[in-house]
Amino acid sequence: MGYQVIGLVIFLVIIAGVVKFLLPLLAKKEPKTLPYESAGTLFSPAERSFLGVLEQAVGNDFKVMGKVRLADIINIKKGLSGSERQQAFNRIQSKHVDFVVCDTKSLTLQCVVELDDSSHQQAQRQERDAFVDKVMSAAGIHILHFSAKKSYSIQEVRDAIAGAK
């Protein structure tokens, strides 16, 4: 009988040790300070420069929105299974476009604008761009690409947007 009690005590000590070890790992504690900081600016210098040109080009007829997630302007078509819908959503949820041009009054999408800097020469970025272009085409949304450069013609940007109607 004495060995059974000793065995039970040892077993309980082991269980208590395991629980004491695992409990902190399983507890969801909010860190004292969150690991976030401001990015400082929304746009890169090239994007900010182009935004000024884009706003001049569209005038008062359109509003320009920046850094818009695909999931905010694209809906998944009906008729898919739940897993197909989730898979399609997962492919767009973390991607964004540089600018969206919308009608001032209704905020209806006019077109999407991407500013292609040197990062768009990378193979992975080209795959992403091709995917986004296909998504926009499937959704019936015009997408315009402008190469990043030191200066832009407001009229050329205006004409490209007018052609996207």
The CATH number assigned to the domain holding 132 equals 3.40.1350.10
Residue 156 belongs to domain spanning: 45-163
Q: Is residue 2 over pLDDT 80?
A: no
pLDDT for residue 5 is more than 80 = no
Quick check: helix, strand or coil at residue 66? strand
Domain contains 14? no
Flag whether 65 is in a domain.
Answer: yes
How far is 126 from 117, CA to CA, in rounded Å?
A: 12
Residue 154 lies in a domain: yes
Residues 6 or more apart whose Cβ sits within 8 Å of residue 135: 70, 74, 92
27 found inside a domain: no
Q: Choose the weakest-confidence range: 8-12, 38-42, 131-135, 160-164.
A: 8-12
Q: What is the total count of domains within the chain? A: 1
Has residue 72 got a pLDDT over 90? Answer: yes
Please state, for a pLDDT cut of 90, what percent of the chain lies above it: 70
